[in-house]
Amino acid sequence: MIADSSYRDFLEELAARPFSPEADARCQWLMERNNFGELTDAEREELTGLVRLSQWMSLVRAQAFTLLGRSPVVPTA
């Protein structure tokens, strides 16, 4: 159990912050362009950065959920 409420609040904030819909949409658009071989060098760098950021955020959120003793809620379609 987490004793420090400010630490718990911090973990709650981390757990509540998924990849933004705008960043996700941009990443999806870039991946689609990549599938067709249409990325510029700048877009390829941007896509690489977005993928790394998304992966990092997923790991941080997973750790926050673990420390909070919870599982993430997966949205249903």
DSSP-derived letter for residue 47 is H
Q: What tens digit of pLDDT does each residue of 43-53 get?
A: 999 999 999 99
Q: What tens digit of pLDDT does each residue of 62-77 get?
A: 999 999 998 877 666 6
pLDDT at residue 42 above 80?
yes
Q: Please, are residues 31 and 46 in contact by the beta-carbon 8 Å criterion?
A: no
Look at phi and psi of residue 24 and say left if phi exceeds 0, alpha if psi is from -120 to 50, else beta: alpha
pLDDT, position 5 = 86
Q: Please, are residues 67 and 17 in contact by the beta-carbon 8 Å criterion?
A: no
pLDDT, position 22 = 95
Higher confidence at residue 17 or residue 34?
34
In Å, how far from its chain's centre is CA 35? 22
**Domain boundary assignment for the chain:** 5-68
